[in-house]
Structure 1
Amino acid sequence: MAKSQITLLSDLTPPSLERTWLTSPHPTLPIVATCSSDKTVRVYSLTNFKLLSTISGGHKRSVRTAAWKPHVTGESVLATGSFDATVGIWRRWDNYGKNESNAAEVEESEAASDEEDEEWRFAVLLDGHDSEVKSVSWSPSGMLLATCARDKSIWIWEDLDDGDNNFETVAVMQEHSGDVKCVSWHPTEECLASGGYDDTIRLWREDLDDWGQVACIKGHSGTVWFLDWEGPENTPRTSAEQDTSSLTSAWRSQRSLSGPRLLSCSDDLSIRVWRRLPKEFSQMGMSSSAATGIPSIIRPTGADENWEEDAVLPHAHELAIYAVAWSRRSGLVASVGADGRIVLYEERFVTATDSEAMETEPPMLKTEWSIIAVVDGAHGIYEINHAAWAKRADRGAVDEAEEQEVLVTTADDGSVKVWTVQR
């Protein structure tokens, strides 16, 4: 199998002088927000890789996490989570598009940079957690914000969108028995996944106006550091001799009832893919009262879900895996961690002649994951805390076809690097 190439495109400059935790790509603009131990968030351009603005003054300790609110027109809204136990909401009227087209002028004008800083508005501080906030995530609609912390709790807040920056607490979940390291919303449903220090992955949904746990996955033997969801349109890659159209159609048909899969990484050095079983296949499975020990009469009807392990990715890391990123454009998975290594994985259909399952009617499609690229010491001797796929466009690009997908990695030395992938 042909290998792919990961090539360093650029560093984002200037870097932070302290540890950087996570970089969040904007949902529509070619910009990213990077969280730092110096209590700030830096907003960088993916067009010229320069610093556009620095968000500061809202948090008293390290900013650990950030996420852009989706579906906002004319404005960018950023949620930030800090070790000071608070969550900040920041707003800024969108004129980055104009700044991007005049990027050279922005680079040369220190005054312009100062003006950028002033335009970020600290809208509201969400106060409820008792200790360090570790992760924040917006729901696909943008109306709900999930946050989690070292205090073992998950909070869900509703943006009332009333013009006064008011948020309402709609749920507090405390089923995790250790630090909750990550929260991540399903890409198309109001279903929340969480992972943590208790080695579990938990799934949450609203039922009868109350949020509750619908599944607890106990597949890892170490801290679950990060979760990411598959893109709704993702399909495995086909080889030259395979019929791409028919395989893609069959795959989507077979997977339509399960929906997007969930990806997890852990301190146990494994990366796992999880798939929800359709209801009709799990009625007598783990969701039955015999399996749970909970009488069905006191359980919300149909609320429990059965998730199974779909795959374990090939072993590639020698130390804790801190983050995984599942591209919704290419379907590639990237992983990073304490060993300073970037690893790329690809899922492919198993050739029909190699699979007995293809003889069934209808044929059950099988796939396999393989490592297609590795970069050792990607940030020198430093641990890599996060990776994210992002879109960028060179100046003058006019349509999506000219956009380039890049991988952004964030490390302990304060650096943020942008990588391209050649397949």
Structure 2
Amino acid sequence: MTGARKLLVHHLKNSMQSLQEAQKLSGHTERVWCVSWNPSGTLLASCSSDKTIRIWGKEGENWVCKSVLTDAHTRTVRSVSWSPCGQYLAAASFDATTSVWSRKGGEFECLATLEGHENEVKSSSWACTGSLLATCSRDKSVWIWEVTADEEFECASVMSTHTQDVKRVKWHPTKELLASCGYDDTVRLYREESDDWECCNTLKGHSSTVWALDFNQTGNRLATCSADCSLKIWQEYEPGNAEGVNTTDNISVWKCVCTVSGFHERPIYDVSWSTLEDLLVTAGGDDSLCVYREVLTADAKNSPKFEMVARVRGAHAEDINSVVWSPSEKGLLASASDDGDVKLWKLLQEA
């Protein structure tokens, strides 16, 4: 069998996969907006319009609710995110505040409530160092908070480069580089320069609201998803790159190298890039989950191609707001929906 033939057979085998529901986690009484794994994959946090945060953990073969965090917010809790050390959990709320929870001895306590945004806080994200926390809001701003040695939070910068509601913030996995996206159809990248933070890149290409974004494991690619029903892959070109892409002021350039469309029929609300495999998953308003894998090509860096390897239609009963791969178990992911449920899914190879 020739090398090309072997590659084709291997590719076809990889293409035949299925997503199977592993468990439904019920407990929230209203829509669930976000799910987030702790860094070790031993806990899953979820948040809801019911103003609570639930912490799920595994007992035997099943996942159960370990804790319900209440009384920190007066309105919807929109997103949750874990710090890199797994000791802290940030929760962004429509009440214009962000709560920070500390986990000590298995118990959670509200450590701080961050105020300053003028309107609903939509997302939060921790930098890889754990010393910075970013938040974004309907007030069109992105805030960066410094975490002090005595567990206090101080605002380091307020950036108002978006012209409309900012939907999501996400830090680079290995550098203090922050990405945001929003209702103005753009993606922005920020870095610290001369003791202040500045927008160093504006990525345009989507034709409607950019709902979410996620870096790959190495951070040289960024995936974005939009109400235009497309998934875009952006590639980083560093100064002095072999491709000859022009850069200025010693700042990397990010270019869209791939657009994946035709699989979702309504807005794509979330995207997650697995840290264990080169897999992407998207979720959206059509109640579908789609898993993609990169196809090997001659120019994989500059012209990558992605194929859908698994899809679940009717995954929940309503819109799916959040989806995220487990950081510790290959093929395991969690999703959250307007139907009030959290679901766990397993990607399996079809026979």
Normalised TM-score (structure 2)? 0.90
* Aligned residue type for 2:45: A
Q: Say if 2:97 is the partner of 1:86.
A: yes
Q: Say if 2:56 is the partner of 1:68.
A: no
1:307 Cα deviation after fit: 1.2
The 1:365/1:195 distance shift into structure 2, 3 A limit, reads closer
The aligned residue for residue 179 of structure 2 is 193
1:200 Cα deviation after fit: 0.4
Q: Say if 2:29 is the partner of 1:17.
A: yes
SS of residue matched to 1:279:
coil
Alignment root-mean-square deviation, CA: 2.0
The aligned residue for residue 143 of structure 1 is 131
1:348 Cα deviation after fit: 2.2
Q: Deviations over 1:250-287 (max 9, x none)?
A: xxxxxxxxx52000000111100001112124999665
The aligned residue for residue 221 of structure 2 is 261
Among candidates 123, 128, 133, match of residue 121 of structure 2: 133
* Aligned residue type for 2:22: L
Contact 1:63 1:80 in 2 (8 A): yes
> Could you tell me how far apart the structure 1 residues matched to 2:303 and 2:168 are?
30
Contact 1:385 1:410 in 2 (8 A): yes
1:315 Cα deviation after fit: 2.1
Contact 2:41 2:326 in 1 (8 A): no
The 1:85/1:283 distance shift into structure 2, 3 A limit, reads farther
Taking the TM superposition and a 5 Å limit, the aligned residue runs for 1:93-104 are 93-95=104-106
SS of residue matched to 1:129:
coil
The 1:285/1:28 distance shift into structure 2, 3 A limit, reads closer
Q: Say if 2:308 is the partner of 1:348.
A: no
Normalised TM-score (structure 1)? 0.75
Taking the TM superposition and a 5 Å limit, the aligned residue runs for 1:383-422 are 383-391=319-327, 403-422=329-348
Taking the TM superposition and a 5 Å limit, the aligned residue runs for 1:144-163 are 144-162=132-150
Among candidates 265, 273, 280, match of residue 326 of structure 1: 273
> Could you tell me how far apart the structure 2 residues matched to 1:342 and 1:284 are?
37
Structure with the bigger percentage of strand: 2
Q: Say if 2:308 is the partner of 1:371.
A: yes
* Aligned residue type for 1:219: G
Contact 1:32 1:46 in 2 (8 A): no
* Aligned residue type for 1:7: Q
Following TM superposition, the consecutive aligned residue runs of length 4 or more in structure 1 with deviations greater than 6 angstroms are: 282-286
SS of residue matched to 2:63:
coil
Q: Deviations over 1:333-369 (max 9, x none)?
A: 100000000101000212xxxx5x6xxxxx9886421
* Aligned residue type for 1:386: S
Q: Deviations over 1:43-97 (max 9, x none)?
A: 111442111110000101000011111125xxx21111000000101112144xx
* Aligned residue type for 2:348: Q
The 1:279/1:415 distance shift into structure 2, 3 A limit, reads same
Q: Deviations over 1:215-271 (max 9, x none)?
A: 001111100000001012xxxxxxxxxxxxxxxxxxxxxxxxxx5200000011110
Higher CA-based Rg: 1
> Could you tell me how far apart the structure 2 residues matched to 1:417 and 1:281 are?
42
Q: Say if 2:19 is the partner of 1:6.
A: yes
Taking the TM superposition and a 5 Å limit, the aligned residue runs for 1:236-247 are none
> Could you tell me how far apart the structure 1 residues matched to 2:229 and 2:84 are?
32
The aligned residue for residue 27 of structure 1 is 39
Identical amino acids, percent of aligned pairs: 39
Q: Say if 2:283 is the partner of 1:271.
A: no
> Could you tell me how far apart the structure 2 residues matched to 1:184 and 1:157 are?
14
> Could you tell me how far apart the structure 2 residues matched to 1:197 and 1:367 are?
27
Among candidates 110, 114, 121, match of residue 122 of structure 1: 110
The aligned residue for residue 246 of structure 1 is none
> Could you tell me how far apart the structure 1 residues matched to 2:104 and 2:209 are?
39
The 1:230/1:329 distance shift into structure 2, 3 A limit, reads same
Structure with the bigger percentage of helix: 1
The aligned residue for residue 152 of structure 2 is 166
The aligned residue for residue 254 of structure 1 is none
> Could you tell me how far apart the structure 1 residues matched to 2:347 and 2:122 are?
29
SS of residue matched to 2:240:
helix
Q: How many residues were matched structurally? A: 334
* Aligned residue type for 2:39: P
The aligned residue for residue 338 of structure 1 is 285
